[in-house]
Amino acid sequence: LALDPIAEAHRNWTEHGWGDAADGMAFVTSVVRVHQLLLARIDQTLDPFDLSFARFELLMLLLFTRKGELPLGKIGVRLQVHPASVTNAVNRLESQGLVVRRPHPDDGRTTLARITPAGRRVARRAADALNAAVFTEPGLPSASATRVVAAFTALRRDAGDFAVRG
């Protein structure tokens, strides 16, 4: 096992005359790597449920919606994914019996995705599994995680990711 590759890259960047960007490079690379590690744990946990994280997020979104259904387009906006990805995910979930499509009553253009009773059961069990295997102990001290969330919320806000309350 080698030493920390990100620290090494930071050193290389500095020695290459890119000192001004070295910290930012290390930050971005850290995010990429931690994302990779977390996703691996998540995928492993969701494997028994035959769910990807993307499909899990879609299921939870419907679970937390009052009527248990949402237009496909709205799902894409909320989950920040491409319409084609929504179509694909809903196809899979529908073939698994966790979601059904139905036409919008008032607008013939839009399609609604509705979570089924089986979908609700799977969503709750998968969430329990993720909570136990990943979320309750994501890999850093609770105070540290909270600080990261705060810093990332500011970053996302500045990137125009969501509206500022006002």
The binding site for DNA (CB under 7 A) comprises 52, 54-55, 71-74, 76, 81-92, 101, 104, 107-112
Answer yes or no: are the C-beta atoms of 13 and 29 closer than 8 Å. no
Whole-angstrom CA distances from 17 to 20, 21, 25, 89, 136 are 8, 9, 13, 45, 42
CB of 69 to a second copy, least distance (A): 17
**Cβ distance to DNA smaller for residue 106 or 158:** 106
Q: What does 125 interact with, of DNA, a second copy, none (CB < 5 to 8 A by kind)? A: none
Q: Long-range contact list for 31-34, CB < 8 A, 24+ apart?
A: 33/6
Give the residue, chosen from 66, 67, 80, 109, that forms a contact with a second copy under the rule CB under 8 A.
Answer: 80
Q: Look up residue 62 and give its two tokens.
A: 């419907």
Alpha carbon distance 152, 154 (integer Å): 5
- Residue 93 binds to a second copy (criterion: CB under 8 A): no
Tokens representing residue 41 in the block: 């744990």
Q: Which is nearer to DNA, 53 or 138 (CB)?
A: 53
Tokens representing 153 are: 């919320």
Which listed option, DNA, a second copy, none, makes contact with residue 156 (CB within 5 to 8 Å by class)?
A: a second copy
Give the binding site for a second copy (CB under 8 A): 1-7, 9, 12, 16, 18, 20-28, 30-39, 42, 53, 60, 64, 78, 80, 127, 130-132, 134-140, 142, 144-149, 151-163, 165
